[in-house]
């Protein structure tokens, strides 16, 4: 039996703001050293699925560079599978992907090559650890045409998901996409296992439907149920989160720091693989205070600095007197003397010059303060909670030493001037 995994990794991720200004959402860094897509890729190889296609679209450069030949995931295979990255191409009848189903449909001639028996459709922007072999066994036992992984979510969040209802055999009897008044809290995880021929016919029918959104949740699943196909729900009880908003991204990091951790990164039998760039060891100077934090390779925490409840990616430097609490700092960020950061998410190489106050030390946070890639904040700055700094911002872009909540600062220079 042959299974091919298809990872949807073309999302623009607009709700992540400046974190996706220069990269697709699955390429955003997570937990210090990983990219979000590492979790789907690692789930595949840990489930003994070594035939993977990644469908990219929006700003795929970081994603392509990160995945490369697939070596970190043992996916550097030539003829027996491996990982392949597919991007949109211009032909007579093709264009940019307009929905999740359209992305698969446009590439289906490649996806069905070598005639796999089943197609596993995954989202590249979810954090979870799942053994897809158990889902496959369930799928085969039920002789399902489509199996959808499902999970219970808080009722107050159910409106954000596709909501399904099933009978005692797990056969789905109703499905509604993102209802205003959810009838239950059993949610679609965006993990689909199709018989190949069923997916082939469903995609073609959808492609020829003029008013379709070309989306799995809105169109494909309801259409299959209406036609009487065997559609089943596979219940998943582990940790799972769609990090589609800044708040969800921040909370998923905080879940790593809870006691006990809501999601366990350190499972010897379920390793999360990634492309690792070697760094010097972290250096924690005498007199520095660190508590309940993940500190990656190459970080430097000076004497007198405080880091609490944080996730620091590789190469972060917190200078003497710097305070960083409840924050996520991506690769090579730098916090200068006596600057204080609270509830901040900062992209790569952001710099906070001396004596600045960013956010507010208050729980629950009023709002996450978001800092774009390669931005430099001048000395003595005050950013209220919820302020947003775009990418490549420089001290000259600030007209005031105060940026209020909800205010957005962008650079006014052309790219070649940066």
Residue with the bigger pLDDT between 413 and 177: it is 177
Return the pLDDT at 415. 55
> In angstroms, rounded to a whole number, what is the distance separating the alpha carbons of residues 201 and 219?
13
CATH 2.160.10.10 is the classification of domain 283-417? yes
Can you give the pLDDT at residue 92?
A: 44
Within the chain, all domains assigned CATH 2.160.10.10 are found at 283-417
Tell me what pLDDT residue 332 has. 94
* Portions of the chain given CATH number 3.90.550.10: 3-256
pLDDT at 418 exceeding the cut of 60: no
List C-alpha distances in Å: 131 to 125, 172, 232, 275, 333.
17, 22, 17, 21, 35
The answer to whether residue 98 scores a pLDDT higher than 70 is: no
- For the record, the structure tokens of 281 come out as 């060891």
Spatial separation of the C-alpha atoms in residues 387 and 246, rounded to whole Å: 13
The token pair at 338 is 């006596």
Average confidence score pLDDT of the chain: 92
| pLDDT at residue 414 in the model | 58
pLDDT greater than 60 at residue 93? no
For residue 239, give both structure tokens: 């940790």
Can you give the pLDDT at residue 416?
45
Q: Which of 76 and 400 is assigned the larger pLDDT?
A: 400
Q: What percent of the chain has a predicted confidence (pLDDT) above 90?
A: 76
pLDDT beyond 80 at 177: yes
- For 249, the token pair is 């991204």
What is the pLDDT at residue 78? 67
* pLDDT range class, residue 79, cuts 50, 70, 90: low
312-338 mean pLDDT: 97
Give the model confidence (pLDDT) of 233-252 as tens digits: 999 999 999 998 999 999 99
Report pTM. Answer: 0.89
63 vs 107, which has greater pLDDT? 63
49-61 confidence digits (pLDDT tens): 999 999 998 888 9
Rounded to an integer, the average pLDDT of 20-39 is 94
* pLDDT tens per residue, range 125-162: 999 999 999 999 999 999 999 999 999 999 998 998 99
- Give the sign of the dihedral formed by CA 257, CA 258, CA 264, CA 266: positive
- Report the 3 state secondary structure along the chain: CCEEEEEECCCCCHHHHHHHCCCCHHHCEECCCEECHHHHHHHHHHCCCCEEEEECCCCCHHHHHHHCCCHHHCCCCCCCCEEEEECCCCECCECCCCCHHHHHHHCHHHHCCCCCCEEEEEECCEEECCCHHHHHHHHHHCCCCEEEEEEECCHHHHHHCEEEEECCCCEEEEEEECCCCCCCCEEEEEEEEEEHHHHHHHHHHHHCCCCCCCCHHHHHHHHHHHCCCCEEEEECCCCEEECCCHHHHHHHHHHHCCCCCCCCCCCCCCCCCCCCCCCCCCEECCCCEEECCEECCCCEECCCCEEECCEECCCCEECCCCEEECCEECCCCEECCCCEEECEEECCCCEECCCCEECCCCCCCCCCEEECCCCEECCCCEECCCCEECCCCCHHHCCCCEECCCCEECCCCCHHHC
Q: Class of 3-256 per CATH? A: alpha beta
- Confidence bin at 97 (pLDDT 50/70/90): low
**277 pLDDT tier (thresholds 50, 70, 90):** confident
């Amino acid at each position: 039996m042959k299974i091919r995994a298809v990872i949807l990794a073309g999302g623009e991720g607009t709700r992540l703001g400046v974190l996706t200004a220069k990269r697709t959402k699955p390429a955003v860094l997570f937990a210090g050293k990983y990219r979000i897509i590492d979790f789907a890729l690692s789930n595949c190889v840990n489930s003994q699925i070594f035939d993977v296609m990644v469908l990219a679209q929006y700003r795929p450069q970081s994603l392509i560079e990160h995945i490369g030949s697939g070596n970190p995931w043992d996916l550097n295979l030539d003829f027996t599978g491996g990982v392949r990255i597919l991007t949109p191409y211009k032909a007579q009848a093709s264009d940019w992907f307009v929905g999740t189903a359209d992305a698969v449909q446009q590439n289906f001639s490649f996806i069905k090559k070598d005639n796999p028996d089943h197609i596993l459709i995954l989202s590249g922007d979810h954090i979870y650890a799942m053994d897809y072999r158990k889902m496959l066994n369930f799928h085969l036992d039920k002789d399902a045409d489509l199996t959808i992984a499902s999970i219970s979510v808080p009722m107050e969040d159910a409106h954000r998901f596709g909501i399904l209802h099933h009978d005692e055999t797990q056969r789905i009897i109703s499905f509604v996409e993102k209802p205003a008044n959810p009838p239950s809290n059993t949610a679609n995880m965006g993990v689909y296992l199709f018989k190949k021929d069923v997916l082939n016919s469903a995609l073609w029918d959808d492609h020829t439907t003029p008013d379709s959104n070309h989306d799995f949740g809105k169109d494909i699943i309801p259409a299959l149920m209406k036609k009487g196909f065997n559609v089943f729900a596979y219940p998943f009880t582990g940790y799972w989160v769609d990090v589609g908003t800044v708040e969800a991204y921040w909370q998923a990091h905080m879940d790593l720091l809870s006691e006990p951790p809501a999601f366990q990164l350190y499972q010897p039998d379920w390793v999360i693989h990634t492309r690792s760039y070697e760094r010097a060891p972290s250096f924690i100077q005498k007199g520095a205070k660190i508590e309940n934090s993940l500190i990656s390779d190459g970080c430097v925490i000076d004497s007198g600095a405080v880091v609490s409840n944080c996730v620091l990616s590789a190469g972060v430097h917190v200078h003497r007197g710097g305070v960083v609490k409840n924050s996520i700092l991506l690769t090579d960020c730098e916090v200068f003397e006596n600057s204080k950061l609270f509830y901040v998410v900062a992209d790569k190489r952001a710099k906070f010059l001396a004596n600045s106050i960013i956010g507010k030390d208050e729980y629950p946070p009023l709002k996450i303060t978001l800092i774009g890639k390669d931005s430099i904040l001048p000395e003595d700055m005050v950013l209220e909670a919820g302020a947003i700094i775009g990418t490549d911002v420089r001290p000259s872009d600030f007209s005031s030493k105060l940026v209020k909540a909800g205010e957005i600062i962008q650079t006014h220079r052309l790219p070649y001037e940066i």
